[in-house]
Structure 1
Amino acid sequence: MTSRAVSFWLHSQDLTFQSESALPPQADVVVIGGGITGICTAYWLSQLGIRPVVLERGHLSCGATGRNGGHCVFGANQSFKASVEDIGLEETLAVWDFTEQSSQLLQEVTHRHSIDCDLRFNRLVAFAMTPAQAQAIQDNCDVMRSHGLEATYWTQAEVYQQTQCSAFLAAGVKPHHGQLWPAQLVVGLAKAAQHQAHIHTQVEVQAVTRQGKDLHITTNQGQIQTQAVVYATNALAYHLLPNLKEVIIPVRGQVVATAPTAPLFDFDWLLNDGYEYAIQRQDGRIIFGGMRWKSPTKEVGIEDDTTLNPSVSEGLKAFLRDTFTPLRDIAIEYEWTGIMGFTADENPIVGELPNRPGEYISAGYTGHGMALAIAAGKAIAERITGSAQTPIPKAFRPERFGLG
């Protein structure tokens, strides 16, 4: 596993972002992490009149945000049916409402600040490759429709009509899904926040300690005193919060980007219960990720995003080549890995940490952070400033894992 992973989303971006050369000794709020969550939180804090300091150990968007598949998957991480069975209808609908609000906010902020991040909304198609998957998809569509949500079931003949591909037995279609260039969104939001926010890259946070009401942030470039800190490091949150080590588990995903090709799909898609996922960008490139089941460990517990797993790599390329005739000779121009943060119930952890006043977290997205971070950052910022308007679903709250 020695091949270097180069993300398409990062290859042409200027992600060096330094507000000033020295860290300030004090800050209203310190946000740890310069990905979508950290920058969204800093953006909303700046909108509320707060001057946050953002600390990122690498460059902006260098973690999972700049290394994902470019999806915004709205709704629960689980299927609607599974979510209702696990947390109930009311809470499942609260999760869906939260992601719908996040979608609206995403559209508003990109329009307000003229952020060109290739944002595009589309349908999401979930393909079935086995009879069991086809039945599960049909059952899920039935449950969604019974509760007033839009969902369409495609038979095998309808799938073939849409894809000219005989590998899929059925599909479920949701009308609302997004794709975007994640790093461009982060840079755009960082620029929009910089009138208030101090953003520092290449600063590694080594410890957060409490002295009375104050929190002391120790970094490789000095200390900062604050009364509020936001942990926005997703799978790596346990590095500073050891009690999260068994709560948010790092899982490595792998993604390829093809050369531009003629339009094959007028929708985004996933299959194998979300293990595989793809978009076709407006420039014609297909971004396809997954196949981690090709690894004996399913890539669980891995934090190295600099190398590729050759078994996963071959699985990704073979699937495109063998499933879609027009892609038989398609060139793979980029391939990369990124580290997701999985929780046991597939829901993120968003809110103030129990019995740790002034310490907030938004992490553990289980691969769906892009759709959640806008609203999660807003909810955290509002709670820090005492102006909470954005409700956080109970299913996201930290206390469910007994973190106090």
Structure 2
Amino acid sequence: MSASGTVTKLLGHTDSYYASSANDAPSYSALDQTVEADVCIIGAGYTGLSSALHLAERGFKVVVLEAERIGWGASGRNGGHVGVGQRKGQEDLEAMLGLETARQLWDMGLEAVQTVEELIHKHQIQCDLKRGIMHLAAKPSHDAWLKEEVDVLNQRYGYEQMRYADKDEVRSLVGSERFYGGQIDSGSLHLHPLNFALGLAAAAAKAGVQFYEHSRVTSYHGGNPCVVNTATGQVKAKNVVLACNGYLGNLEPRMAGRIMPINNFVLATEPLPEELARELIANDYALQDTLFVINYWKLSGDNRLVFGGGENYTSRFPQDIRAFVRKYMLEIYPQLASTRIDYGWGGTLAITLNRMPSIGRLEPNVYYSQGYSGHGVPTATFAGKILSEVIAGTEERFDVLSRIPTPSFPGGTLLRWPGLVAGMLYYSLKDKLGR
């Protein structure tokens, strides 16, 4: 929804509910000259926008180059969930990294959600911010580990904003018979992801960041200065941040093998009557299930069900995205069989082999962050904050994150696709079978 209250699609974005309900936003011209900066950021998603804003607030001169429009990629198309923790559970992190590092990552995960909320309030970003996420057991066997995780977080980490709900309580909150229990987390958030991105960009521009849209980077090299090239311009900068995530392509082979781009799909229904909306989600939380290929959903600011389900691993989207996602929605909410689907869209995200973010430094003045594995709203926003710290000379927290092992996919970029597909098909079969 624009500031005037009319529904107008944000030009240059995919045909999504988010683009059709986006706040007014300026467009920026393509880079057509040589400019100089302290930091050149490649990509205007959450990582790039948060990095730019935090760096500008520290006094750095920042240039952001975006191949399409600000928030055009996954940052403007995702489910809008802002969950605590990491993509991997705390007990898994303890086993992988030890208790001390697991605790550091838990604290960072809490700070990531707090950072999102603080930025929204500080910069008065209108993005339908709401509180709460429920994690629902899709199988009887999943119920036990959700309950166990609540106990671990309550007792070992002192996190008291999450509690367990049994099957009867879940049924009273969610208008579906599909679930066997769940977690109710009042410390997490959900929002309109594109409007959050646009709000970050507006705050960064106000702080002095220079944005160039339609300025795809064709090549770059480190050095003193680093040089970043587009088809029509060039940036000379003391530092470079690679914030491309699933849209990295062939720009930087040294880190490309650590991520795998995959496609995920979302629909939005027509606005629902208040009674039906509360039947589906009584507490207006965002919801997600425990399947490997998860379903996730929430109510928009105007009572549409925004539902994500299904993914693929090719360069092409399904021909009819609305129908592709609708079948997953109806498995949970058969009462929506006659509800009109107004929007269907897809987006590309990047996963890592162990589902932990890949953050690091390629050269003394070339940094990157990527591979948020579906946990990008808080993690990428926080990563931008951490990148601003290390560029400003404070390395402690960057070092914690950069030491997390993020192995390359077997076979690198050449063979990662068939291996991933085989693995995903195996877990998808487990979603359908077993208990």
The residue type equivalent to 1:270 in the other structure is Q
Q: Which of 134, 141, 144 does residue 150 from structure 2 map onto?
A: 141
- Tell me the secondary structure at the aligned position of residue 189 of structure 2: strand
Q: Which of 121, 130, 134 does residue 139 from structure 2 map onto?
A: 130
Return closer, same or farther for 1:119/1:303 CA change in 2, 3 Å cut-off: farther
Q: How does 1:1-400 map to 2 (within 5 A)?
A: 6-13=15-22, 14=24, 17-18=27-28, 22-122=32-132, 124-147=133-156, 148-150=158-160, 151-194=162-205, 195-210=207-222, 212-261=223-272, 262=274, 263=278, 264-265=280-281, 266=283, 267-273=285-291, 275-292=294-311, 299-300=312-313, 302-304=314-316, 307-308=317-318, 310=320, 313-314=322-323, 316-324=325-333, 326-353=335-362, 356-387=363-394, 391-392=397-398, 394-397=400-403
Q: Give the conservation status (yes or no) of the 8 Å contact 2:268–2:306.
A: yes
Deviation track 1:267-297 (CA, whole Å, cap 9, x = no partner) reads 21111346111111232111111222xxxxx
Deviation track 1:280-339 (CA, whole Å, cap 9, x = no partner) reads 1232111111222xxxxxx23x355xx4354x7545313333433542321111111011
Deviation at 1:21, TM superposition (A): 6.3
**How many residues of Structure 1 are paired with residues of Structure 2 in the alignment?**
385
Counterparts of 2:349 and 2:27 in 1: how far apart (Å)? Answer: 24
Counterparts of 1:248 and 1:362 in 2: how far apart (Å)? Answer: 11
- Tell me the secondary structure at the aligned position of residue 37 of structure 2: coil
Counterparts of 1:245 and 1:112 in 2: how far apart (Å)? Answer: 35
Deviation at 1:182, TM superposition (A): 1.7
Structure 1: stretches of 5+ with no match in the other structure: 293-298
Counterparts of 1:229 and 1:79 in 2: how far apart (Å)? Answer: 32
Counterparts of 1:111 and 1:164 in 2: how far apart (Å)? Answer: 32
Counterparts of 1:109 and 1:204 in 2: how far apart (Å)? Answer: 28
The residue type equivalent to 2:297 in the other structure is A
Deviation track 1:36-64 (CA, whole Å, cap 9, x = no partner) reads 11111111111011111100010110011
What is the aligned partner in structure 2 of residue 296 from structure 1? Answer: none
Counterparts of 1:53 and 1:376 in 2: how far apart (Å)? Answer: 18
Counterparts of 2:177 and 2:125 in 1: how far apart (Å)? Answer: 39
Deviation track 1:125-157 (CA, whole Å, cap 9, x = no partner) reads 111122222222223223223312333222222
The residue type equivalent to 1:279 in the other structure is K
Indicate the RMSD between aligned Cα atoms, in angstroms.
Answer: 2.5
- Tell me the secondary structure at the aligned position of residue 366 of structure 1: coil
Q: Give TM-score scaled by structure 1 length.
A: 0.87
Deviation at 1:181, TM superposition (A): 1.5
Q: Give the conservation status (yes or no) of the 8 Å contact 1:320–1:328.
A: no
Q: Give the conservation status (yes or no) of the 8 Å contact 1:206–1:220.
A: yes
The residue type equivalent to 2:86 in the other structure is A
Answer with 125-134 or 148-157: which moved more. Answer: 148-157
Q: Give the conservation status (yes or no) of the 8 Å contact 2:137–2:180.
A: yes
Deviation track 1:169-200 (CA, whole Å, cap 9, x = no partner) reads 22122222211122222222222222421100
Identity of aligned residues (%): 28
Structure 2: stretches of 5+ with no match in the other structure: 1-12, 410-435
Q: Give the conservation status (yes or no) of the 8 Å contact 1:348–1:396.
A: no
Deviation track 1:364-392 (CA, whole Å, cap 9, x = no partner) reads 11111111122211111121122457x24
- Tell me the secondary structure at the aligned position of residue 354 of structure 2: coil
- Tell me the secondary structure at the aligned position of residue 141 of structure 1: helix
Answer with 25-34 or 148-157: which moved more. Answer: 148-157
Q: Give TM-score scaled by structure 2 length.
A: 0.81
Return closer, same or farther for 1:5/1:230 CA change in 2, 3 Å cut-off: closer
Q: Give the conservation status (yes or no) of the 8 Å contact 2:310–2:328.
A: no
